[in-house]
Structure 1
């Protein structure tokens, strides 16, 4: 099979699509024929060497966190999945992978996939695995968003941001999206009540908000100060400065800055699929690339300034 790998850390030009042996599922695992995989921040950080504590220095290393496709085979002790099932899922983000989601086939534990929602293509489904799961965990489990609250989504045009806007809107919240002004029509269509240009809007001129969802990772303390009494904030963008701000914010109790590592299991993926089926969550795809052009997809992700996800169309 063909699989995207890196043989050294660096910029997008270190990505290679290599011929490798097709894996076989072991006990509790499934083999999935991958039809699509998206580009996520995790993939870029791994490729650049930012997670060497996990990925190590033994090459090659597979890339691609998520996938959508069809079950080909199952190992022993797998219940609930069989060959022919259309599924979506994610490899474990805290494990090293020789091949991962950006490949023609992937082997994963059965508790890391779920049946993909009907009515969306594999490319569309792949765009929602990480984005939808991360947004759902952030809003539901981290800040416990309630109907009618005022929400700020910072970095609203990205994958997680577009999903968070939609889910908050579906809950009946007033949603303020912080993004580039040219993205206002799309974000308004997704449910944003107002869109503010992040280049001309400073944190001291907005708010207060009951909930802030941050996908940027900078100026966290400035935005935290815009929380209303009892407000909550969560960031999904981690860096050394962000971690320092998170630690320092603990003195603010409920108004501290929260974070988490998105690692969805079958139950979370089922919940995301339910939101897709209900119409509360729909895919936002900026660009589609063949697996051979994965370097271009990474470069587009890193340039930013787009709405939604970069997705790899993979055919086994």
Structure 2
């Protein structure tokens, strides 16, 4: 089977499509025939060597945090999933994987899967796995957004941002999206009450906000100062500078900056699927790339300036179908 793998840390050019042995599920595991995966920030960090303390330096390293596909086989003790079920899920974000989501097949523990929304294609589903669950966990469990509260979403045009705008709108929040001016129409269509041009709007000219969800990682302290008295702020963008800002904010109690790294299990994936089915959340796909051109998907992700997700289409001719 084919698998996208990192041959060495560096730019997207280090990504290779290699022929590898198809894995077999062990006890409590499920083999998924992958139809699509998406590009997430963690994928590019791993590729660049930013998590080498986790991955080590033994190559190749699998790439692709999330996936959508069909159950191909199950290991002993798995009764929740059956062959032929359409599913979506993630590999563990903080473990080394020789084969991950961007491959013809992937093996994961059963509790990392959920039923994929019936009305979505595999490409659409893959675009929402990490983006949607991250936004849901951030707004519901970390920031506890309540109806009527004013929310700022920084980086609102990205995958997590577009999901957060939709979910926050459905939760009754007043949503201000910070993004490029040319994306204003798309973000209003997703539920934003107000769109600010990040290139022309200083942090000091915004707010106050009850809640700030950051997907950018810069100027965190400036935006923390825009919080109301009982405001809450979280960021999903972890770097040396953002970690320093998070640490410095700890003296501010409830108004500190929280770091968020979502790791969804079956319950969150089911919840997200229900929200898709109810019409609360819809996928936003910017572009789709074949598995063979996953490097271009990574380049597009790192350039930014788009609305929604870069998705890698994996389904097609499989050299060794089950």
Q: TM-score, normalised by structure 2?
A: 0.97
Q: Distance in 2 between matches of 1:295 and 1:175?
A: 34
Partner in structure 1 of residue 164 of structure 2: 164
Partner in structure 2 of residue 248 of structure 1: 248
Does the residue aligned with 1:135 lie in a helix, a strand or coil? helix
Q: Distance in 1 between matches of 2:211 and 2:63?
A: 33
When the two structures are aligned, how many residues end up with a matched partner?
Answer: 316
- Taking only aligned residues, the RMSD between alpha carbons, in angstroms, comes to 0.6
* Aligned-pair CA distance for 1:248: 1.0
Partner in structure 1 of residue 122 of structure 2: 122
Partner in structure 1 of residue 176 of structure 2: 176
User: How big is each residue's C-alpha offset from its partner over 1:145-192, in whole Å with a ceiling of 9 and x where there is no partner?
Assistant: 101110000000000000000000001111000000000011000000
* Aligned-pair CA distance for 1:222: 0.2
Does the residue aligned with 1:128 lie in a helix, a strand or coil? helix
Partner in structure 2 of residue 85 of structure 1: 85
Q: Distance in 1 between matches of 2:176 and 2:74?
A: 44
Q: Distance in 2 between matches of 1:69 and 1:110?
A: 14
Partner in structure 2 of residue 103 of structure 1: 103
Q: Is 1:207 the equivalent of 2:207?
A: yes
Q: Distance in 1 between matches of 2:262 and 2:114?
A: 16
Q: Distance in 1 between matches of 2:133 and 2:112?
A: 12
Partner in structure 1 of residue 29 of structure 2: 29
* Aligned-pair CA distance for 1:260: 2.1
Does the residue aligned with 1:35 lie in a helix, a strand or coil? strand
User: How big is each residue's C-alpha offset from its partner over 1:293-314, in whole Å with a ceiling of 9 and x where there is no partner?
Assistant: 0000000000000000000011
Q: Distance in 1 between matches of 2:47 and 2:10?
A: 6
Partner in structure 2 of residue 64 of structure 1: 64
Does the residue aligned with 1:250 lie in a helix, a strand or coil? helix
Does the residue aligned with 1:17 lie in a helix, a strand or coil? strand
Q: Distance in 2 between matches of 1:238 and 1:8?
A: 22
Partner in structure 1 of residue 55 of structure 2: 55
Partner in structure 2 of residue 237 of structure 1: 237
* Aligned-pair CA distance for 1:251: 1.1
Partner in structure 1 of residue 186 of structure 2: 186
Unaligned runs of 5+ in 2: none
* Aligned-pair CA distance for 1:56: 0.6
Unaligned runs of 5+ in 1: none
* Aligned-pair CA distance for 1:6: 1.1
User: How big is each residue's C-alpha offset from its partner over 1:231-286, in whole Å with a ceiling of 9 and x where there is no partner?
Assistant: 10010000011111111111111111011221101111111111111111100000
Q: Distance in 1 between matches of 2:4 and 2:91?
A: 14
Q: Distance in 2 between matches of 1:234 and 1:10?
A: 29
Q: Distance in 2 between matches of 1:106 and 1:163?
A: 26
